[in-house]
Amino acid sequence: MARRERAASVRRAFTAPGLVSANPAAAPRRAAQQAPSIADLPPVLDSLFDEAIESWLALQLPVSQATPETLGRLGALAYRYTSRVSLDVDAVLLEVQGSARLFGGIHTLCAQLLERCRASGLEPRWALAPTPLAALVLARAGRSIMVRARDRLMGELAPLPVESLGWSAETLERLDSLGVRTLGALLRLPRAGFAKRFGKEALLTLDRLSGVAAEPRRGFLPREHFKVRSEPAFELVTQEAILQHLVPLLDQLEQFLRARQCGVDVLKLRLAHRAGKCTRLDVRLAAADVSAERFATVLGEQLARRALPAAVIDCELRSGVLQPFIAHSDSLWRPAEHGGALGRESPALIERLRARLGSEAVYGLCLVPQHRPEIAWRVAEPALDAPSQCTAEALYHLSTLRRPLWLLRQPAALPCAVSALHWIAGPERIETGWWDGREVARDYYVVREPHGAQLWVYRERLPPHEWRWHGVFG
Amino acid sequence: MGRTPSISPDTAADDPLGSLLAHPALWRGRSLARTDTHSTGYPTLDEALPGGGWPANGLSEILSPQPGLGELRLLMPLLVRFGQQWPARWVAWIAPPFEPYAPALASAGVPLERQLVVRTDEPLWALEQAIESGACATVLGWLRSRPGDALQRSLRRLQLAAQRQRAPVFLFRERTVAQSASPAELRLELHFRVGGARLELLKSRGGRRGAFDIEWTDTPGVTHGTP
C-alpha cells in the first residue's frame, strides 16, 4: 500500500509543477479564498530506493506570534492528525507518516492542517522532512517543500546558510573563518576534526539533521478542561437550592481531577435564567485544589454575595487549566504546635475571605524604595513564604526616619486648630518627585493634639501653605 | 523603666515564697500562675498583668477613646516576636481604622510578608474566620460598635474560637463599651499621659484591677521646633 502511495506521489512529483502554473483557473481561485488546496502544495520529493520511516512536518511561527499560548493552540490543532506532536521554541513539529493514509495521503493531510491553521488566524511557515530538525531548519528558512527521502534531503539542505541551525554567534564566526557558509559545506567537513573543534554536541546536531542519529523529542499533551452542564428538574430560586444542585457536578469534577492527579485554581460557573443575561461566577482559589467540599464552600460564599436576577434554569460548570496537584498529608499537630508546619490553612483562609469580601479587600504589605510617604509602601499579594523585604540596607535607611504606624490613605484636614497642637519634632522636609508629575514639597512635623494622640502632619511648601494630617503614631 | 507598678504583684520573682507559689502545679484563686501568657515586652506591664503577659489563648480588649494613644505600640514587641517564630503564620489586621504603614512596621522589626490586612464591614465574621483557620499567629481586630449592637454572643464565639486554636486575639474598641460585659480574658483601658500611657485594668483572670503607667522607650525626633 505504501509502495503504491509512494508511486502516486512520485507521479505527482513529475506532473504537479506543470499543473499549477498551466491551469489558468487555479490562480484566481487561490487568490479568492487564500486556502492551500492540494494542488498548491509542492510535490513530495520521494525516492524509489529509500523507504521513508518518518516524515516530520514543521509549522513555524514568526517570533512575534510564537507565544506559549499560540503554540499550545497550534499543537492542539496538530494533535488531531497525530499523537506524535512536539513543541519547539517557535514551532510545532508533528510526525505525519504514520497517519497519512488515514487522511488520504500526505498532501491531503498537510492541506487540511494548513487550512485549519489559516481558519484560526495562524499563518505558519512549514516544511516536511524525514527528520524533525531538518523540517524545522527548512521551515525557518522559508522553504516550503516536502521531502520524504533522506537521500534527497541533503540536496535541499545544502544551499541553506549555516545560520539556520540557530547556533551561537561565536560558533558561526569560527565556521565563517573556516570558509563554511552553507549547510552543504558544513556536512562535508571531516567528522573527527569537526567533533574536536566544535564538540560532540554539534556533531550530534548534524547527525540529527541528516537522520544518522535519532532525535527523541518530548511529546506534547493537549490541555484538558472539565466542562459539565446540567438542567435542574425545576427552577432554582434560593442559593441553597443552587448549591445543592451543584454538589453532584462538583463531585464529578473531583473524580475527574483525582483520576488525573490534577487540581484547578479557577472555576467558572454559568447560571442561565429564563430571560435576560446569564449570571457568571468566576472563582479563583489561592492554590490548586481537588476537593468538592472546598469548591462548594467557596462557591457558596460567592453566591451569597451575588443577587441573582431571576430563577436559575440551567447550570454550567467549567474548570480552568489543570495543574499538577500534590496531596499533602495532614500534620499530627495543630499548625505551629510543637513546631508543626502549616499546611493548607493559609491559602484556605485567604480564599474564604476573598470569596466573600472581594479580592482587593485582602492584601499584604510591601516596601517601595521611595521618599514620598504615600508611595513608600504598596499593596502586595499575600504570600507567607515571600522572601523578606527587610534587607539591612532598607532597614538602615528606615531607622534614621521617624514614621507613623498608621497612614491615612488621603491626607486629611487637621482634626483641630494649628494653635492647639503641641510640637514634638520636626520639620522633616520631603521635596521630590518633580519628574513624574506627583511632586511633593512638604515639611513634616510630629505633633500631639489636645486629646493626646500623636499625629504626623505636614505643611505644603507651596502657597497657600496648607496644613494636612497624614499619619497617626498608633 | 523600673517603675514600681501602682498595684503590688502577687508573686515576686526574687523571694522564695513567690517562686514556690509560681510553681505550675499550684493553683491559687487570684494568681493564676498557670495561665499561658506571652510577654508584652514592657516589664512594668508584664508585672502588672496576671500570669506575666498577654493571655496566650483568648481575647484581650484594649479600649481607647481614639486611635493614636499608643495602642499599637503596646503590641509591637509581641508582633516582632511572632515575626521571628517558625513556621511562619499570619498576623491578621481585621478592619484597621487607617492603613498599617509598611515603612514604620519594617523599621520596628515586624516582617511585612507575614502581615495580612483585611478591609471589611463585617469584622466579626472575618475575625472568626481568621481565628478558626489556625493560620494566624495573632489576630488584631477593630470593632466600631453602634448603639444597640448585641455583640455579647459574637464575642463569646470569638473567645471560644481563640481558646480552641490557642491564639491571642486583640480587639480594639471604643471606651464607651467599658460598661457593657465582655467575655474577654483581659480588658485594658488606655489613657493619655505625656511620654507614655496610663493603663487601667478593667478585667482580668484572677480579678486583679488597678491602674499603672508605662513609658515609651523610643526617643523623639532629633530636631525640635515650631514653625
Backbone angles phi, psi at B92, to 5 degrees: -95, 130
CB B116 within 8 A of CB B123: no
Q: Does A318 touch chain B (CB under 8 A)?
A: no
Phi-psi region for residue A305, left (φ > 0), alpha (ψ -120 to 50) or beta?
alpha
Mean pLDDT of the region B125-140: 91
- SS3 state of residue A194: helix
- Please give the average per-residue pLDDT across B121-140, as a whole number: 91
Domains assigned to chain B: 46-215 (3.40.50.300)
Residue A370 grid coordinates: 521611595
Label each residue of B7-54 as H, E or C: CCCCCCCCCHHHHHHCCCCCCCCCCCCCCCEECCCCHHHHHHCHHHCE
Name the architecture of domain A227-324. 2-Layer Sandwich (3.30)
Predicted local distance difference test score (pLDDT) of residue A196: 92
Whether B128 and chain A come into contact, CB under 8 Å, resolves to no
Contact between chains at A342 and B88 (C-beta distance less than 8 A):
yes
Q: Is B118 on the interface with A (CB under 8 A)?
A: yes
Cα A85 to Cα B99: distance, rounded to the nearest angstrom = 53
Task: Give the residue among A82, A20, A85 at the shortest CA–CA distance from A58.
Answer: A85
For B22, half-sphere exposure in the C-beta direction (CA atoms, 13 angstrom radius) is: 15
Kindly state the cell numbers that stand for B78.
Answer: 509581641
Distance from CA of A259 to the nearest CA of B (A): 29
Alpha carbons A446 and A470: distance in angstroms, whole number = 10
Buried b vs exposed e over A221-242: b needs ≥16 C-beta within 10 Å? eeeeebeeeeebeeebeebeeb
pLDDT of A300 reads: 87
- Mean pLDDT across B169-186: 88
- What is the block-wise mean pLDDT of chain A (474 residues), using blocks of 10 residues? 50 40 39 55 74 86 86 88 90 91 89 90 90 92 87 88 88 91 91 90 91 88 84 89 91 90 89 89 82 88 85 90 76 58 74 86 88 88 74 67 88 88 87 86 90 90 89 88
**CB-CB neighbors (< 8 A) of B226 in chain A:** 423
Q: Are B146 and B36 contacting, i.e. CB atoms less than 8 angstroms apart?
A: no
Torsion sign, CA atoms B91, B95, B97, B101: positive
Cis peptide bond prior to A28, omega within 30° of 0: no
Q: Spell out the domain ranges in chain A.
A: 1-222, 227-324, 373-472
Q: In this structure, are residues A105 and A11 in contact, taking their beta carbons and an 8 Å threshold?
A: no
Euclidean distance between the first and the last CA atom of chain A, given in angstroms as a whole number? 86
Mutate to test the interface with A, among B81, B113, B199 (most CBs of A within 10 A): B113
Contact A243, A296 (CB under 8 A): yes
pLDDT of the residue at B33: 47
Query: Which of A349, A377, A445 is the closest to B103 by Cβ?
Result: A377
Helix (H) or strand (E) holding B196: strand B196-203
- Considering only the beta carbons, identify the residue of B105, B133, B192 that sits closest to A405: B105
The pLDDT value recorded for residue A128 is 92
Amino acid letter for position A38:
I
Going by C-alpha positions, the residue among A400, A415, A399 that lies closest to residue A447 is A415
Chain A residue closest in CA terms to B131 = A349
Question: Which candidate from A383, A407, A451 shows the least CB-CB separation from B101?
Answer: A407
Question: Closest chain B residue to A346 measured between Cα atoms?
Answer: B135
**Considering only residues 394 to 453 of chain A, which have any Cβ-Cβ distance to chain B shorter than 8 Å?**
394-395, 398-399, 401-409, 423-428, 443, 445-446, 451-453
- ipTM summary value: 0.82
* Residue B164 touches chain A, beta carbons under 8 Å: no
Cis before A427 (ω within 30)? yes
pLDDT tens string B144-175: 876 666 788 889 989 999 988 888 999 999 88
Partners of A377 on chain B (C-beta within 8 Å) are 99, 101-103
Its pTM stands at 0.60
Buried residues in B106-137 as b, exposed as e (16+ CB within 10 A): bbbbbbbbbbbbbbbeebbbbbbbbbbbbbbb
Cβ distance of B99 and A342 shorter than 8 Å: no
Chain-centroid distance of CA B53 in Å reads 9
Given a contact cutoff of 8 angstroms between Cβ atoms, the answer to whether B138 and B172 are in contact is no
pLDDT for B223 equals 40
Residues of B in contact with A425 (CB under 8 A): 220-224
What would the mean pLDDT of B128-138 be, rounded to a whole number?
A: 90
User: What is the third-level CATH fold of A1-222?
Assistant: Alpha-Beta Plaits (3.30.70)
